[in-house]
Structure 1
């Protein structure tokens, strides 16, 4: 094989590979010999079909397979000889003039991973803000929990239903006098004022008493999931079977026992444990922010533009998803566009930090074990319907890039834990409010190359969701996996039309883009 370098600028590399025709023919001969014992043809004993007839029968597929194998082997040989680690999948293109019997000329273009300088990790100092669960907050959570576990009691017969009461009813909906599919229900319970029904329905039940029958006039939302009902006026014939009021829920041992616990103290212990786990997570995130800021400030080296672009698209897609929940979605999107350069710097920072963490892990023997990887696969597979789990496991086994993306977060966490163990830790007590404010702030961190800030400029006022998303973006690195692709939205199947708000289509959940360049696809997650 002949190799000619066509481009060498920064991390961009280009080559022209020439694969001799005789090498391709040799592969065809090998394949003919391999399949000959399996070929069956009338007039010949099994395994005795002449090679020239086998060639004639399978000419196109044999040559196609031989050419593909030659190109793959040639690209791999090129990467080995040139000692190149590609940042993303190399672009491989066969010359259009190729024909049978000619040498194959193949263009290979790629971006190489940079030579990462020896990371500086010996004098890292971190603050560990420790927060004790607040006693008042603990009691408030127990009260909230008790309020969500309401004890309903039958109201007096002449009691008129009000907000906060529970109405038990039968109903049947119709449009222009004609009942519609999915519009009928029996013994349905709804808490008035909860907002669980389509607009106007709960209001139409205010004042109703047990035994009442009334017609409730409503209009289905324009974006209602059942398209045949969207935007249409409907009448629901309702029979109120019972009205219940919320009895006082005493917070005592009996309440705890109703939850299957021993006593109230055990409930307090469980909630305290949940609070401690959440606070520990916030503390770790705060320490990780400091660690990544220090690593970013100490290291500056070129990173592959293709990885930066892919990570930028991932960040922007996540921010746009957050913007879709803002009151003024257009204004939020405009802010994202205005700060595009800022997000590109964050994307570059994340890619650079990912390469640093990979280098640190590799140099210090940090790895994800086979058992840990199997556990990751099983956990991810559990998100799919039972019939799709085997397909998902097979997909991960066959797609190295998909496996790398699944593995990357755990690998990153293990490298971060390694660096925490080496760092000088200064323990400092703080309140939850102080810890959360520090996490959401875009200031107060170590400044330096790659930190993602436009130094010297006063930050613009941000929407709440966008500010949190931006802060969270800085807490991540793209370790040991190619940059993720844009976030895609999963589709939701329509449900039967009912007067419940939840039957309207919710915005589809985010789903990670599939790893390229494979043609295989992972099975769809269960809804």
Structure 2
């Protein structure tokens, strides 16, 4: 095999590869030897078919297999011998290859020539992680937070008791039938039977809850309400609708007291134990929020600390995925670029910047992990797969089969685990400074980090 670099432009490479006819002949002969004892042809005993006869009958087919395998083997070796890492699978194109060329190769009269176009990953000098200035927020769980969580828990466990003649008011559960019309015409999704809503929870469009307040079982009324201007369904946005409502039942709320009986009803030994469980849960939530904020800070710091040429093919691939997702979202919500408040050109520039950041961080994270031998174990992959399967009750077998047959899906499952390992490593190296904050300050910081 002869390899010649014919072009080099930044990270782009073009190689000319020639596999000599002698090597092709050896590969072809080896392939014949592999199958000769397995071939069954009428008139011959198994394993006794003359090689010349096999070659005559199956020569072209076997050579096609040999050529495909040769392309795979030699293209991989050509890159490996150069100690380069392709950013993506190289594009391979045969040179001056036609039916006559194929026949000459089969006859052992011609070499196999092809060119390879690919981009290589750039050298990535990882910054000194110990110099990163990081701050880790920490919030303590106080009694007020536990009290609020218990009150919310009690709210979620509210039951409702039907009461004859009760007039619907704040907090009541109203069951009803209704038919909605716009300009006298019923519209899709505007009708319902046996529908329930709790007054005050803003479950319907503005004006509806106010309209049914004061009604009782058996009452019928036309309730007018207006769809918001930003309503997802464009054909309804901003329009006024009239709903013919018949109330069938009104039930009053019965919120449990947060006491010993309430705690035992939730499986706790007593109220003190329940408060302990709730406090631990809140602490986990705080820690998760703190880590999310710190992770974003780390990614920002890594992005800022590294500057190197990015493979255009990876950036284009990432940008295309982001752009397709944006177009699909706009289509699903019946919106346009104008609704985003920017021109298409401005959005393209913005999302290309996002694509570049993702590619840069992906390469940096991969480099940190590789240099420090961070790996995802089989047990970690197994646990992730089990967790993924649990999200689809009754379809666990199909989930397992999907991941077994789809290597790309396994890579997607592995990626976040690997990234978290790198984040943990960076934290250990950078040793963030701990800063005590209140719950509100923590959540505000996380929100701001998410928006930026």
Partners of 1:22 and 1:198 lie apart in 2 by 78
From 297, 312, 316, give the equivalent of 1:305. Answer: 312
Deviation at 1:119, TM superposition (A): 3.2
Q: What is aligned with 2:87? A: 87
Unaligned residue ranges in structure 2 (runs of 5+): 105-109, 181-190, 226-230, 234-240
| Deviation sequence 1:118-137 (CA, Å, 0-9, x none) | 53223334222211134333
Answer with 1 or 2: which has the greater Rg: 2
**Structure-2 change in CA distance of 1:199 and 1:2 (3 Å):** same
1:85-484 alignment, distance < 5 Å: 85-95=85-95, 97-98=97-98, 99-100=101-102, 101=104, 102-155=110-163, 157-161=164-168, 164-167=171-174, 191=198, 210=217, 242-316=249-323, 330-332=338-340, 334=342, 338=346, 340-384=348-392, 385-396=395-406, 399=407, 401-441=408-448, 468=450, 471=452
**Structure-2 change in CA distance of 1:56 and 1:67 (3 Å):** same
For the residue of structure 1 that corresponds to 2:314, the secondary structure is helix
Deviation at 1:74, TM superposition (A): 0.9
Q: Is the 8 A contact 1:320 1:333 kept in 2?
A: no
**Structure-2 change in CA distance of 1:4 and 1:411 (3 Å):** same
Q: What is aligned with 1:75? A: 75
Q: Is the 8 A contact 1:123 1:424 kept in 2?
A: no
Q: What is aligned with 2:54? A: 54
Partners of 1:388 and 1:6 lie apart in 2 by 48
Deviation at 1:242, TM superposition (A): 4.6
Partners of 1:282 and 1:335 lie apart in 2 by 34
For the residue of structure 2 that corresponds to 1:334, the secondary structure is coil
Partners of 1:261 and 1:329 lie apart in 2 by 53
Partners of 2:311 and 2:422 lie apart in 1 by 22
Unaligned residue ranges in structure 1 (runs of 5+): 174-182, 225-232, 443-467, 472-527
Deviation at 1:12, TM superposition (A): 0.7
Q: Is the 8 A contact 1:123 1:423 kept in 2?
A: yes
| Deviation sequence 1:352-402 (CA, Å, 0-9, x none) | 333233333322232222222332333334445234123223124xx3x54
Q: What is aligned with 1:6? A: 6
For the residue of structure 1 that corresponds to 2:342, the secondary structure is helix
For the residue of structure 1 that corresponds to 2:131, the secondary structure is coil
Q: Is the 8 A contact 1:319 1:336 kept in 2?
A: no
| Deviation sequence 1:233-287 (CA, Å, 0-9, x none) | 999997x765422124322222223323233333332332222112212222333
Deviation at 1:139, TM superposition (A): 2.2
| Deviation sequence 1:25-53 (CA, Å, 0-9, x none) | 43333333322333322222222233344
Deviation at 1:321, TM superposition (A): 7.4
- What number of residue pairs does the alignment pair up? 429
Deviation at 1:78, TM superposition (A): 0.5
For the residue of structure 1 that corresponds to 2:293, the secondary structure is helix
Deviation at 1:164, TM superposition (A): 4.0
Deviation at 1:7, TM superposition (A): 1.6
TM-score (norm 1): 0.67
Partners of 2:124 and 2:232 lie apart in 1 by 51
Partners of 1:389 and 1:279 lie apart in 2 by 32
Partners of 1:35 and 1:172 lie apart in 2 by 74
Q: Is the 8 A contact 1:36 1:47 kept in 2?
A: yes
Q: Is the 8 A contact 1:165 1:244 kept in 2?
A: yes
For the residue of structure 1 that corresponds to 2:87, the secondary structure is coil
For the residue of structure 1 that corresponds to 2:267, the secondary structure is coil
TM-score (norm 2): 0.77
Higher helix share: 2
**Structure-2 change in CA distance of 1:215 and 1:50 (3 Å):** farther
Q: What is aligned with 2:187? A: none
Partners of 2:56 and 2:232 lie apart in 1 by 60
Which stretch of structure 1 is more off in the superposition, 89-98 or 375-384? 375-384
Which stretch of structure 1 is more off in the superposition, 407-416 or 309-318? 309-318
Partners of 2:97 and 2:46 lie apart in 1 by 39
Partners of 1:207 and 1:96 lie apart in 2 by 85
For the residue of structure 1 that corresponds to 2:130, the secondary structure is coil
